[in-house]
Structure formats: C-alpha cells, structure tokens
Amino acid sequence: MLPPLKNGEVLRGRYKIRERIGQGGMGSIYLADDTRLKGRECALKEVEYERALPEKIRDEARDQFLREATVLARLDHPNLPKVSDFFSNGPRDYLVMDYIPGKDLRTLLLEARHNKIALKENDVLAWADQIANALTFMHSQEPPIVHRDIKPSNVKLMPHGLIKLVDFGLVKILAPEEVTITIIQGQGTALYTPLEQYGGSDAHTDIRSDIYAFGATLYHLLTNESPVDARKRFLHPESLIPLRQLNPALSLRTEKAVLWAMSLHPDERPHTINEFREALLGNYDPPQNAFSTYRVNPQSVWDYLAHPMETTLTWSAAFLLLISLLATLAR
C-alpha cells in the first residue's frame, strides 16, 4: 500500500486535503476543501488496487470503477450523499462526494449504551423511514442498485435531523440477467450480512440482501445488542433472541417486522423495501408466520444456495460457504 495523502496536498488541481477521516481495506477517506467552489467541503473516497494482481485484472477493475462511478454520479436523492466527481491519481481512484456532518448511528448507539439507556423506538423508526426512502430510490434504478453494507456506522444523522445513507464501497449494480457487477469487492460487515453474501459468489445478491441488513441494523439500534451472525444462525437457528426479550418496551409490530426482514431464506423476507416499510410503519400486517420465519430450516437455505439446477451459484462457492460456516462453529 502507498503512504496516505498529506494534509494540504491538492488533487486534480482542485481538492485540497484537510485530513484523513476514515480508513478501510481498499484505501482511505479524506475530508477536503473544494478550491474551485469556496467554502464547499467534500469527502474523497480512495480506491487502491492490490499491486500483486495481474495488470490486466487491475485495468479491468479500474475500468469497472469508472463505469460505475458514472452511474453513482447520476444519483440525486436527499438521503444519499451526492457524488460530484471521480478521477484517477496514479495507481489510485477517487470518488468525490458531499461531506456529511453529524454523528453516525453507531456513535449514537454507543452513547446510549454508555448512558445505560435505549434509543427511543419512535426516533429509530423515523430514521428507518428515511433509510427506506434512500433504498427505495436505489432499488428503483434501471438496473437496480444494491448497497450491500447497510449498518449503523454507514448511516449518518445530520444536525438538522436528515438521515444520509453513506459509504458506497460495496454498492452493487444489477445488470441484465441478474449478473452483478461490483465497484469494490467485499462481503459487507458480518453482523449485518445475509447468508447469501457468503461463499465467494454474488449470484444471489439482490434487493432482499439490503432488506436483511436493514433489518439487522434496526435490531441493533432497537435492542442495543448486536444481531447474531447469519452463519451462526444457520447452525443454531434458535440463537437470535426476539427483540422484546431484550427491550420489552418495543411494540409487537416493530418486533415482527424486523424479524421478518431478518429471515435467513431470502424468499421469506419482504420482497421490497416498501413492503417492509409498510409492515414497520404502515397498515400492512406481516404474514402470520413472520414471527417465526427468522428461524427457517437451515436445510432450505442450503438448498437455495447450492442447488445447481435452480441457481447459478457454483459448487465451489457453496463449498467456500460450508468452510465459512464450519469456521464459525469452531470459534
């Protein structure tokens, strides 16, 4: 990996680095000043490719990044940061986005835990409504865009109350025939990742994967307890504790809607964000078995992931999933 950018360094003759504000496996995130538009702060998300990869693979990855950055730059929604530019600088690529001030929901969660209080259900549901707005917009694009890394730290609450769903690092663009293209390879964050994102294949990732991660995020916010890793639930279906056992003040409607979204089998989840929103906030009653589908038979999930006649997941990918599950069991 190359050394990080220096404070005061100017990229593309325009973006003056103020400080590094985040770091991930593919690079850093920087706060920068736009010298062309005085007073505008922006966030630069850096992508650095593994130099050990063959040059052809790196070139293909970079071309893919630039194609998909073009798509992201077209997105315009109040609950998403605006991507205003993208460019290359030597071996690194950059996305330029609006800088979002405020605290992320993970920080608010930790503050609540420190104060030995729970976040208010009404507040969390109001945030959920705004997150749903962002996801509905993304999923309605042609082709649909799937975030794939929804979690409390990727949701920011601005000082005036507006929610922003941030970090496009794992965004998926669903191409025709359900072939998925990845901007930056990754599997999401384990606590919020549905089972179909494991196993080394993206063949099953679709909008229902975001619904699972959305539900798992709400589970954490409403209970102040981390959701159980989907791999552990596959092996121990009873390990996920219902929300109201952890926070008795929650409504039954909220508990049922969140557990419905967290069903292990994608077919047992809400099919759209709006369906989930209606179960959570509106007039739609979840199916009668919604309270129990989060304990779905692991065999049905395995059949969904591994059946060669009905899915496009290769057996080698299914084997990788099995190894991942066994590693979880061994811990």
Residues designated catalytic: 149
- The CA-to-CA distance between both ends of the chain, in Å, stands at 31
Find out whether the peptide bond into 237 is cis, omega within 30 degrees of 0. Answer: no
DSSP, collapsed to helix, strand or coil, labels residue 34 as: strand
Structure token pair of residue 272: 């759209």
Q: Which residues contact 284 (CB under 8 A, 6 or more apart)?
A: 275, 278
Rounded Cα distance, 216 and 233, in Å: 13
Write the DSSP assignment of 176-245 as a string of letters.
GGG-EEESS-----GGG--GGG-SS--TT-SHHHHHHHHHHHHHHHHHSSPPPPHHHHHH-GGGSPPHHH
Nearest Cα neighbor of 89 from 143, 17, 165 is: 17
Query: Residue 249, class by beta-carbon neighbours within 10 Å (0-12 exposed, 13-18 middle, 19+ buried)?
Result: exposed
Strand partners, 32: 17, 42
